[in-house]
Amino acid sequence: MSRAVIYEAFGGPEVLALRKVPEPHPGVGEVRVHVAAFGLNPMDWKIASTPGLARAFGVSTPAGFGYDFAGVVDEVDDQVEGFVVGDRVFGGALARAAADYVVGTPADLGLTRTPAGVSDQTAATLAIAGLTADATLHAVGLRNGDTILIGGAAGGVGTFAVQLAALAGARVVGTGSADTHGFLRNLGAEPVTYGPGLAARVRALAPDISAATSLVGTETVDVALELGVNPERISTIDAGPAPYRGARATGAIDAAPEASPESPMQFWPAS
């Protein structure tokens, strides 16, 4: 037997329980990862507490919990190429990460080798936030020479987005509270404080904003439109049933890179 975090009814943390479950083994084309750490994301809690959202993701009770994980490959089917027993890896398994073992194909798990020097605890935070950042920047067609406004730049997704955008050769303007400005500068962004008057502050700092991504709320979308950014070059992860003011709604699922042992994200060269 092995262990997994399970919930049988939707709700808050009180519905989660550590249960004994049959030990899984890989099928054709699959690997098994012995999980060393798993990450927590807002979406995990939202799925566990919201039946309608859970249904949208194909999750029904009883269900497992968590998405991001890191660990070591300990069983591999003969048809798998690119991964062997003993590989340190990280990836994502919807509603299955909080368990002793995760099983799936490398593609389904977005399986990636953990770089040397990166701990399992750190690697277990990479999948959702990193892929979401990747997707938001691809949605706006980010390219070398752009000046991009990133709303919520100091958050989990924003931390990735700022660095990926800088790697792409873009000038990055990031919104955050005043006490995050030093942090944002260290990441490679020029910080501006969010809130009333944001458009004027951005215009004074960088009048040539060419793209924008909103990682929290709708303020960044509104400001980008006020500054004349084409709606097709504005993305948001905080979308309702319809795109907000024409912005491109996106998220981790839209990144959908092909599984690679070396990198789960499609970094752009700064050229």
Specify whether 164 is located in the same domain as 91.
no
For residue range 14-54, list pLDDT tens digits in order.
999 999 999 999 999 999 999 999 999 888 999 999 999 99
Domain limits for position 248: 129-255
Q: What is the pLDDT of residue 241?
A: 53
State which amino acid sits at residue 147.
T
- In terms of pLDDT, which residue wins out, 134 or 243? 134
pLDDT-wise least confident of 16-25, 43-52, 99-108, 254-263? 254-263
Looking at residues 210-223, what average pLDDT do you find?
94
Specify whether 147 is located in the same domain as 244.
yes
β-strand pairing of 17-21 with 88-92: unpaired
For residue range 54-79, list pLDDT tens digits in order.
999 999 999 999 999 999 999 999 99
Neighbours of 236 (CB within 10 A): 27
In a domain, 228, yes or no: yes
* CA pair distance 246, 235, nearest whole angstrom: 9
Q: What is the pLDDT of residue 7?
A: 98
Q: What is the pLDDT of residue 248?
A: 74
In a domain, 269, yes or no: no
Name the band, by pLDDT with cuts 50, 70 and 90, for residue 258. very low
Name the band, by pLDDT with cuts 50, 70 and 90, for residue 250. confident
Considering the entire predicted model, what is its pTM? 0.79
Does the pLDDT at position 221 exceed 80? yes
Does the pLDDT at position 164 exceed 90? yes
Does the pLDDT at position 168 exceed 70? yes
Of 125, 154, 175, the position where a domain reaches its end is 125
* CA pair distance 251, 190, nearest whole angstrom: 24
Does the pLDDT at position 268 exceed 50? no
Specify whether 106 is located in the same domain as 88.
yes
Mark out the alpha helices in 1-104 (DSSP H runs). Answer: 42-49, 51-56
Does the pLDDT at position 199 exceed 90? yes
Burial 124-152 (b: 16+ CB within 10 A, else e): bbbbbbbbbbbbbbbbbebbeebbbbbbb
Of 83, 107, 125, the position where a domain reaches its end is 125
Specify whether 105 is located in the same domain as 177.
no
Name the band, by pLDDT with cuts 50, 70 and 90, for residue 267. very low
In a domain, 262, yes or no: no
Specify whether 73 is located in the same domain as 176.
no
Looking at residues 211-227, what average pLDDT do you find?
95
For residue range 185-194, list pLDDT tens digits in order.
999 999 999 9
Q: In this structure, are residues 171 and 193 in contact, taking their beta carbons and an 8 Å threshold? A: no
Q: What is the pLDDT of residue 270?
A: 36
Q: What is the largest CA-CA distance in the chain?
A: 61
Q: Give the CATH number for residue 108.
A: 3.90.180.10
* CA pair distance 156, 129, nearest whole angstrom: 6
How far is C-alpha 172 from the chain's CA centre? Answer: 19
Neighbours of 261 (CB within 10 A): 15
Name the band, by pLDDT with cuts 50, 70 and 90, for residue 243. low
Q: In this structure, are residues 86 and 76 in contact, taking their beta carbons and an 8 Å threshold? A: no
Looking at residues 213-219, what average pLDDT do you find?
92
Q: How many structural domains does the chain have?
A: 2
- Average pLDDT value over all residues in the chain: 91
